Amino acid sequence: MRNLLVRISFIGTRYGGFQVQENAPTVCGELNRALLAILKHPAEIKGVSRTDAGVHARDFAFSFRTNNPIPEEGLVRALTALLPADMGVHSCTEVPEDFHARYSCTGKEYAYRFFPSKERDPFLEPFVYRYGGALDVAAMDAAAAHFVGTHDFSAFRAAGSSTQGSVRTVFRAGVTWEGGLVVFRVAGNGFLYNMVRIMAGTLLEIGAGRRTADSIDAALKQGRRTLAGPTAPAKGLCLEQCFYEKKGG
């Protein structure tokens, strides 16, 4: 039995997230359909992350097992031919028997993109959160450093989340200008449900002058969701990288 790791990218706009749902198209649903046609048997797909509805990915990984002898490059070509235009397939690699796309992952990097403009740019709109006010990017970058380290991120996850455990390690976090966009980048060993979007919403309020960086420390220490900022819209979020190295990138 072969265990294969596939790396893909996708625009999440029309999908209800990664996991299969009855009432919405999903990334996994498209992959299931394509792999069934290629392999001639259902594949049990293990994704690196569930991703929220509307979230994008430049580097998403999934693994599955098959006895089909199709070459790795052949699988990439076949998936590319069968998947919709808002999904891309980049590589396929045979991995050890005990490899699991989610549990073998040592870290992920996300980017959240703000577009500080009162005018809508239709070429950016699906991928950014447009904010019409001024943003203090230096203050946002300094505040983002408060996330770095091992913390209990209870205040930065969606209320009612069923995820077991809330302690995560953030390797790096920062906010910079990138081609006219304000981009929050964060890498860590794992993220709670809506965690990056809440971090982004908190930083937005700091950049807009509505809260201070000290509020991040208070939220981390007290663990109350009400002490963190709002959940930023999904469309500004993108999974940039999945790490499988020992140090998580």
Give the H or E element holding residue 183.
strand 181-188
Where in the sequence numbering do the catalytic residues fall? 52
Here the contacts of 76-83 (C-beta below 8 Å, separation 24 or greater) are 76/6, 78/34, 78/38, 79/6, 79/8, 79/31, 79/34, 79/35, 79/38, 82/33, 82/34, 82/37, 82/38, 83/30, 83/31, 83/34
